[in-house]
Structure 1
Amino acid sequence: MSHGALKTIYYWKRGCTMATFKMRNAAIPALSLSLMFSLAACSSNDSNSNGNSASPSGSSASASASSDASKKYSISMLDFTYGKIPPTDGAAISQINEKFNIDYKPTIVPYDGYQEKMSTTIAGGDMPDVLGIEEYLAGGALHTWADMGAFLPLNDYIDKYPTLAEVPDEIWAAVTNKDGQIWGIPRYYPNNPTQNWVIRQDWLDNLGLQMPTTYEELAQVALAFTNDDPDQNGKNDTYGLVMGPGGAPSYAMGAYWDRDAWYHKDADGNLIPGYISDARKEQVALYADLYKQGAITKGFGANASFEVGQSDFYNNKAGIYMGGIRGMDENLANSLLSVAPDAKLSSIPPFVAPDGSQGLTAQRGYYRITVLNAKLAGDEGKIDRILSLIDYGRTFVPVDERTPDNETFDFRSGQEGTGYTFDNGAATFAQPDQGLTPFSYLPDSNMWAPSVLDNKYSETTNNPLLKPYVAQLEQEYVDFPEYVDPSYIGYSPTNNSSKGTEAINKVADAQVKMIMGELPLTSWDDVVSDYMKSGGSDIIKEMNESLQGRTLTGFKKMGQ
């Protein structure tokens, strides 16, 4: 049995949905679809959208004086959804058409069928005006398409649309080719750390322990949680660190220790993946010692699901786990409170690394990309109408203004009484397959928050166990910088292939075995050597070559 499935690793690290990583290795063949895109080009959420009133063209700011608002444009769009499919004749489409003076023709298909639909559409020479893309679904073909000029360059339009102008440079860099052309519009995803860590504060208090600030102190706390009856029930039934398939979570207390981040360099000055760094080696040795002493989830490598270890944390059996500023399950929190009414959670702040850095790795800051067909070039009126439509869907509405009184919220939500009901300060939306909510059809309905803090996660979290914890994470977002992983703007065809997946899976599997005592730590060099021979050397070479001439952000205070 493989202990280190990359799909699980990616899920743990990046916080993506299960649907996201199911297709991780089902990438579209790069060559065939590159040709399809070439032919097509030459032949020519996190949350609902809700903000301020739009101009007559639909944008919060008119982008081009040359755009004739009286001219009606036909706009085609292809995208996918994880949920219910909006009908092609939904009433919301008519509302969009009227507001923007367009003949909007959206095609939205299930995620599982999107690869086939996109392939068929493009192969037929009928690439739509607007296309929604997920990087992991498109796989290695995406960068090839962009370099071939399949997508409309957007550099000249960014500053004309408010929500595009708000996108940070390091995120634009991820959709910019080597020639400096911006080929896609990133859709919003919070740029908070990839993972945060949570510890039972009440257990620390019961044992008179301080918050750990180093790995040595973390190990001492984990052992105390295992041996010293932290819940004071007189039983030997607790332990320290939750760990699951693939050795996740990895408890990277800073980007320096992040096994997924490209932080360290080899002897030749090339950036390398954290999995083969000396920092990771030290981590694995520490975890192996803790596992031997019973301080890590027993048999974690053979578990089919991360839910096994997770249940230990929320059933009052384990004291250290991963958390997050958003998306934590209130039902699980209530489960913990039901067995430990006095439970309190705290965040473990990032440790100071040997190089003096102190900060976790940031999320990419986007998920999914919107691209425009290159054949639109020269039709400035249509480009403006499309970008106005996109900008309108992305316009941020402050949390406390998401009410029927806000014109943009009301329109995007289908109008009160039709697309949603509003009771006790909360909106309940119609299902997408009813076709009543414009946000179900817009090319991008993910509001671009000026800052993660504007999402007010702690204010909208009502659970008494989670609310103070989320507030702590919001403060850490302000206090500590985050590392922008260079691989976000780099690219390796090998890494995005089955060969790359197999290579890193073997490393992850070996490291799990080392932690569980099934493989000696002295095998480390052999494991790294095997990785290099199995594609790792190509991955490192390709990634570093793709980063040549690019500006690397390093650490950045995201909360400022």
Structure 2
Amino acid sequence: MTKNWKRLLIVTLCATALLAACSGGKEKEAAAGGTYDENAAAEISWLNILHTASPPTDTITNKLQENTNTTIKFSWIPDASKEERINTSLASDSLADMVTLTMMENSSVRNALKSGMFWEVEDYLDDYPNLKEISAEMRASASIEGKLYGVPFQKDLARNGVVIRQDWLDKLGLDVPTTTDELMAVAKAFTLDDPDGNGKADTTGFVDRSDLIYGAFKTLGSYMGVPNKWAVDKSGKMTPEFDTEAYVETMDYMKELYDNSFINKDFAVTAKTDQQQNFAQGKAGIYVGALFDSKNLLNMAKDIQDGMELVLVNNITSTGKEEDRAIWAGNNGIGGLLSFPKSEVKDEAELKRILKFVDDLMTEESYALMTYGVEDVHYTVDDDRAATITDTPLWQQEVQPFASSRPNETGFEIHDADPLKQEADRLIAENAEFAVMNPAYALESETNTAQGSELEKIVTDATYKYILGEIKLADFEKAIENWKSSGGQTIITEYEAAYKELNK
């Protein structure tokens, strides 16, 4: 990609006649590009990920440019092809001033970050009012070997929970479940007791998809006490989540659902879009995933299941004890990095101007633009700062593509007027108190970087096969040993060494 940066407005320099009088410190600062005009107009290119079918029109881009005094040049990469495109861009060094990196476990990404290709930004963040609010914990989690190679995308710590048909609970005289046993009982009733009243055996309790992380399995695992990818004890010993009793208990729970048809039989090959459509069409009454999906599920059900009422649940445990509440934190609240390649951002002055731009993207005004759009065009807002989308097709075309580009998604005054979304936001915020972090997220293992995805497939395949009844527990345990002998034990050793080094 051709570098596209207009020089910042001229930094004040000592006149030639006075050059000899400039202090050595000032000379050093100028040489390093240390001074810059934060109000200078700038043109900034951004290699970004697109999660919608088509890129946005210029409406929101133009508003953001006005607010940030920049010209923004987007290069959009479709989410479905991001791995190939990002890997190619990294290998060919055809990047942009800003690069959205979301695949933090990808070997090409990690190697590029560690190679020195991108600027370290830790020392600059506190110079900006919004960037300085990024917590020390988040900075540490987003770092690699103690170095922060970009601005972390800040997301809610723990977004997942259970969405249940309240109208079906009411029809069958059931209470909202608070334990995994009660949830199983609801799944059984939703499967066998005709909750939709049509006289047909055409419903299941759960509807799930082919995803052990963002589907039902990992959230149910949290309720069972499964660690978030890794557990570490006081001595620094690391244990992968799948080598715990709680993981086996979660597989057994899913197997019971599957054996009794309390979950869709094709869950292991079901896509998320099909999962949500099936729920909206009244084929199941329990959905496990991001709590904010509930608003979309209800909207999808209009004119299909008009009597649908939903309840959101985030306080399920296997024991019924409040002290056992837990929910996994997705990537420790980090959605990736906004990184700045040195091949494009030539000096410190350019870096500082771009960081000023990112800081401007984290204001209330920019967040509102990238989330709801232009007031009285895409949405209206009441005195409580509750926003209602008034032109959904226009919003989908012009605003929705920016949702994944917001550097920060939390802590803003403006909020969704929809009561279900407000309840989801409330429960997600509450989840933070019970969030279980991944202690290895910021640790480095060369073997995991090189082989982690390949090795993970061993465990994923064995997990599905166990749930589907294709293998026994002894076979699953053999798969774990295969994982260890194929490189997993080396990953454990490397993570333990990295953990001890970081915490010595």
State the TM bucket, normalised to the shorter chain: 0.7 to 0.9
Deviations 1:226-251 (A, max 9, x none): 22233333333322222332554216
Give a deviation string over 1:437-483, Cα, whole Å, max 9, x none.
9x98xxx96253452x74624x2x3xxxxx33751551452364212
The TM-score, its normalising length taken from structure 2, stands at 0.73
1:192 and 1:362 in contact (8 A); partners too: yes
Give 3-state SS (helix, strand or coil) of 2:440's partner: helix
State the aligned residue count: 451
Q: Assess, with a 3 A threshold, how the Cα gap between structure 1 residues 306 and 377 changes in structure 2: closer, same or farther.
A: closer
2:204 to 239, 247, 260: 239
Q: Give the structure 2 partner of residue 183 of structure 1.
A: 149
Which of 48, 51, 55 is residue 80 of structure 1 equivalent to?
Answer: 48
Cα distance between partner residues in 2 of 1:355 and 1:343 = 26
2: CA distance, partners of 1:90 / 1:315: 35
Matched, 1:346 2:305: no
- Structure 2 counterpart of 1:288: 255
Encode CA deviations 1:265-303: one digit per residue, 9 max, x unaligned.
5998533332332111011122223322221212433x3
CA-CA distance at 1:505 after TM superposition:
2.0
* Separation (CA, whole Å) in 2 of partners of 1:391 and 1:91: 17
Taking a change above 3 Å as real, the CA distance of residues 340 and 238 of structure 1, as seen in their structure-2 partners, is farther
Aligned partner of 1:393 in structure 2 is 361
Aligned residue in 2 for 1:517: 469
Query: 1: distance between equivalents of 2:62 and 2:170?
Result: 57
1:119 deviates by 3.0
Kindly tell me: are residues 337 and 529 of structure 1, through their superposed partners in 2, closer, same or farther at Cα, counting changes over 3 Å?
farther
CA distance change for structure 1 residues 398 and 207 in 2, over 3 Å: closer, same or farther? farther
Query: Which of 186, 190, 209 matches 2:174?
Result: 209
Residue type of the partner of 2:203?
T
SS of residue paired to 1:338: coil
Q: Tell me if structure 2 keeps the 8 A contact 1:361–1:484.
A: yes
The gaps in structure 2 that reach 5 residues or longer are: 4-10, 12-29, 382-388
How far is 1:316 from its partner? Answer: 1.9
Distance 2:219 2:378 in 1: 42
Change (3 A) 1:518 1:121: closer
Shift in alpha-carbon separation, 1:398–1:70, aligned structure 2, 3 A:
closer
Which residue number corresponds to residue 88 of structure 2?
116
**2:192 aligned partner:** 227
Q: CA deviation at 1:72?
A: 6.3
Instruction: State the partner residue of 2:437.
Output: 484
1:468 and 2:420 matched: yes
| Within-5 A mapping of 1:52-131 | 67=35, 69=37, 77-82=45-50, 96=65, 100=69, 106=73, 108-111=75-78, 112=81, 113-121=85-93, 130-131=97-98
1:276 corresponds to 2:256: no
Matches within 5 A, 1:367-406: 367-374=335-342, 381-397=349-365, 402=368
Name the residue aligned to 2:408.
Answer: 448
Structure 1 unaligned segments of length 5 or more: list them: 1-39, 41-56, 58-63, 403-408, 462-466, 553-560
Counterpart of 2:166 in structure 1: which amino acid? Q
CA contact (8 A) 1:166 1:450 kept: no
| Structure 2 counterpart of 1:508, one-letter code | T
1:173–1:489 contact (8 Å) kept in structure 2: yes
1:393 partner amino acid: L
Moved more, 329-338 or 364-373: 329-338
Gap change, CA 1:529 and 1:355, over 3 Å in 2: farther
How has the CA–CA distance of structure 1 residues 182 and 222 changed in structure 2, closer, same or farther, with 3 Å as cutoff? Answer: same
- Helix, strand or coil at the partner of 2:190: helix
For the pair 1:166 / 2:133, whether they are aligned, the reply is yes
Cα root mean square deviation, aligned: 4.6
Displacement of 1:327 in angstroms is 4.7
How far off is 1:502 after superposition?
3.1
Cα distance change, pair 371–495 in 1 and its aligned pair in 2 (3 A):
same
Q: Secondary structure at the match of 1:448?
A: coil
TM-score, normalization by structure 1? 0.66
Q: CA deviation at 1:107?
A: 6.1
Deviates more, 1:245-254 or 1:200-209: 245-254
2:200 counterpart SS class: coil
**Cα distance in 1, alignment partners of residues 305 and 342 from structure 2:** 58
Q: Residue 312 of structure 1 corresponds to which residue in structure 2?
A: 278
Whether the 8 Å CA contact 1:265–1:271 is kept in 2: the answer is yes
- The 8 Å contact of residues 119 and 339 in structure 2, kept in 1 or not, is answered as yes
Match of 1:132, as an amino acid? V
Q: Which residue of 1 aligns with 2:27?
A: none
The 3-state SS of whatever aligns with 2:324 is: coil
1:255 and 2:227 correspond: no
Whether 1:155 and 2:122 are equivalent positions in the alignment is yes
Distance 2:121 2:171 in 1: 57
CA distance in 2, matches of 1:431, 1:118: 34
In structure 2, relative to structure 1, the CA distance for the partners of 1:381 and 1:454 (3 Å cut) is same
Give the Å deviation of 1:519.
1.8
Q: Distance in 1 between matches of 2:234 and 2:312?
A: 39
Distance 1:254 1:288, change over 3 A: closer
Other structure's SS at 1:490 match? coil
Which residue is equivalent to 2:158?
193
Identity %: 23
Q: Does 1:360 align with 2:312?
A: no
Q: How much does 1:68 deviate?
A: 5.1
Seen in structure 2, the aligned counterparts of structure 1 residues 107 and 334 have a Cα distance that, compared at 3 Å, is: closer
